[in-house]
């Protein structure tokens, strides 16, 4: 037995009573067939309705030919049930869906852009067109036309016809032929085949705005904010602009100029900072090199040092600088709050095989890491063992 579709008769009907025809336990819940329903099944890019049957949440609604399957979290039993539609959810997706018809119609009217695919997500409705790009001027025309159509509050009619009658209608795109064809006609503006749910007129869509364009599979994909989502988006963006006005100390029409200035200043400061770090690293490396306290058996200098929470770039530069010099082995550590960062290295010509000493050293600080001649680095979990780590390194390499 087929299911009577109450949603096509009255889109505002939220409550209904129906008879259970069949209940089957399936993987995603109890599959329930009713003699009639207000629940719209997922189709044509529009998600399924949400709501409750006998106060049990309806998790999904699917259709197969003339039957509609409701998926429920629990068994609703037998006999008569009462259904209730989540109208907030329905209205949001009707706004998205009806809005998309209007936008696709406007895209066609402005530049003969065909709608290739539509996706109605929980944040955006995206429309992919058969063109690689759309100029900002044309996009503005599309937005203007779509919002004019909404403002004119044109009637939206659902027309049910059979195949023979199809030539009487000026369709924007060819539609799939079934026994019963559903056409959606928006005043004198647009007509396409569609089995989705729409408002009775364009006004309730309220407002549409394109917020992003990107290229995908050689097509332009436009992201839209439609209806309440557009107002919410405007409110959120306005909040961000207010915050930015406060942070940047300027009006929004000067934001770009101000940010460009800050970026340029940032680049100059970074360059200066790098220069100073290099100079400082040179001085510290020179100092460490001149004040070597220990030597290996074959006369290589052993340089060990630790810092507390020092700048990572500085340590990197110190080790780089030291390793340019001849006949040394180094072990440097930077003690951070939770861990310890270590660098071990040697001059190019020194035949030091870190792997031979690795486990002996790592056990001191519960460390890990690696690298290859002449530089190895990593972290350890016992910052309090920094001194023991350095002295173990000295003991081990002394015999070289």
| DSSP reduced 3-state for 99 | helix
The closest residue (CB) to Zn ion is 194
Please state the closest distance from residue 263 (CB atom) to Zn ion, in A: 46
Q: How far is the CB of 198 from Zn ion (least distance, A)?
A: 5
CA distance 260 to 277: 25
What is residue 114's DSSP assignment?
P
Residue 172 CB, nearest approach to Zn ion (Å): 12
State which residue, 194 or 288, has the beta carbon closest to Zn ion. Answer: 194
State which residue, 155 or 371, has the beta carbon closest to Zn ion.
155
- Judged by beta carbon, residue 196 or residue 378, the one nearer Zn ion is 196
> Least CB distance from residue 101 to Zn ion, whole Å?
5
CB of 144 to Zn ion, least distance (A): 22
Q: From CA 58, how far away is CA 83, in angstroms rounded?
A: 10
Spatial CB neighbours of 375, under 8 Å, sequence gap ≥ 6 = 319, 323, 343, 344, 345
Q: Which residue in 273, 293, 397 sits closest to 376, CA to CA? A: 397
Residue with Cβ nearer Zn ion (32 or 194):
194
Q: 182 vs 398, which CB is nearer to Zn ion?
A: 182
CB closer to Zn ion, 194 vs 346: 194
Residue count (the chain): 400
Residue 54: burial class (beta carbons within 10 Å; 0-12, 13-18, 19+): middle
Shortest distance in whole angstroms from residue 182 CB to Zn ion: 8
Of residues 187 and 374, the one with the C-beta less far from Zn ion? 187
Minimum separation from the CB atom of position 232 to Zn ion (A): 23
CA–CA separation, 391 vs 307, rounded Å? 15
* Rounded least distance, CB 100 to Zn ion, Å: 8
Element (H, E) at 48: none
Residue of 120, 121, 122, 123 lying closest to 104 (CA atoms)? 120
C-alpha radius of gyration, the chain, whole number: 35
Cis bond upstream, residue 384 (ω within 30): no
- Estimate the crossing angle of helix 255-290 against helix 228-248, to 10 degrees: 50
- The contact set with Zn ion (CB under 5 A) reads 184, 194, 196
Both structure tokens of 239: 């909040």
The residue (of 83 and 196) whose beta carbon lies closer to Zn ion is 196
Question: Do residues 69 and 48 touch, judged by C-beta distance below 8 A?
Answer: no
Cα–Cα distance measured from residue 222 to residue 211, given in angstroms and rounded to the nearest whole number: 8
Closer to Zn ion by Cβ: residue 76 or 193: 193
Measured from the CB atom, the residue of 40 and 354 that comes closer to Zn ion is: 40
Smallest gap from residue 194 Cβ to Zn ion (A): 3
Q: How far is the CB of 159 from Zn ion (least distance, A)?
A: 12
The least CB distance from residue 213 to Zn ion, in Å, is 23
CB atoms within 10 A of CB 92: 18
- Using alpha carbons, select from 313, 308, 322, 319 the residue that is nearest to residue 270: 313
Backbone angles phi, psi at 35, to 5 degrees: -75, -25
Using DSSP, state whether 316 is helix, strand or coil: helix
Q: In the complex with Zn ion, which residue's Cβ is closer, 194 or 340? A: 194
Q: DSSP assignment, residue 179?
A: S
Burial of 269-279, coded b for 16+ CB within 10 Å and e otherwise, reads: eeeeeeeebee
The SS3 assignment for 299 reads coil
């Amino acid at each position: 037995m087929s299911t009577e579709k109450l949603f096509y008769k009255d889109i505002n009907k939220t409550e209904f009573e129906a008879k259970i025809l069949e209940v089957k336990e399936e993987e995603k819940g109890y599959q329930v067939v009713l003699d009639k329903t207000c629940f719209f099944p997922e189709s044509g890019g529009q998600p399924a309705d949400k709501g409750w049957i006998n106060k049990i949440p309806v998790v999904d609604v699917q259709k197969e030919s003339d039957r509609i399957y409701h998926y429920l979290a629990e068994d609703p039993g037998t006999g008569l049930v009462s259904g209730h539609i989540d109208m907030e959810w329905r209205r949001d997706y009707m706004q998205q869906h009806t809005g998309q018809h209007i936008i696709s119609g406007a895209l066609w009217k402005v530049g003969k852009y065909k709608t290739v695919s539509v996706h109605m997500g929980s944040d955006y409705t995206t429309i992919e067109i058969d063109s690689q790009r759309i100029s900002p001027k044309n996009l503005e025309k599309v937005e203007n036309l779509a919002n004019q159509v909404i403002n004119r509050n044109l009637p939206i009619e659902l027309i049910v016809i059979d195949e023979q009658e199809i030539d009487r209608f000026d369709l924007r795109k060819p539609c799939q032929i079934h026994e019963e064809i559903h056409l959606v006609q928006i005043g004198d503006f647009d007509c396409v085949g569609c089995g989705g749910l729409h408002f009775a007129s364009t006004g309730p869509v309220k407002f549409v705005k394109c917020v992003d364009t990107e290229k995908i599979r050689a097509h332009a994909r436009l992201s839209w904010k439609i209806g309440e989502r557009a107002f919410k988006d405007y409110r959120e963006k306005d909040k961000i602009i207010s915050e930015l006005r406060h942070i940047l100390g300027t009006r929004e029409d000067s934001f770009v100029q101000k940010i460009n200035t800050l970026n340029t200043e940032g680049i100059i400061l970074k360059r200066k900072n790098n220069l100073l770090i290099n100079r400082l690293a040179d001085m510290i490396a020179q100092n460490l090199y001149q004040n070597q306290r220990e030597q290996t058996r074959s006369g290589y200098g052993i340089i060990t040092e630790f810092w507390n929470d020092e700048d990572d770039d500085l340590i990197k530069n110190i080790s780089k600088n030291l390793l340019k010099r001849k006949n040394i082995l180094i072990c440097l550590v930077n003690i951070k709050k939770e861990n310890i960062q270590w660098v071990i290295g040697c001059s190019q010509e020194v035949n030091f095989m870190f792997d031979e000493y690795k486990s002996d050293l790592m056990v001191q600080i519960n460390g890990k890491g690696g690298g290859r001649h002449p530089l190895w680095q990593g972290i350890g979990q016992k910052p309090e063992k920094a001194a023991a780590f350095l002295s173990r390194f000295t003991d081990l390499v002394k015999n070289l």
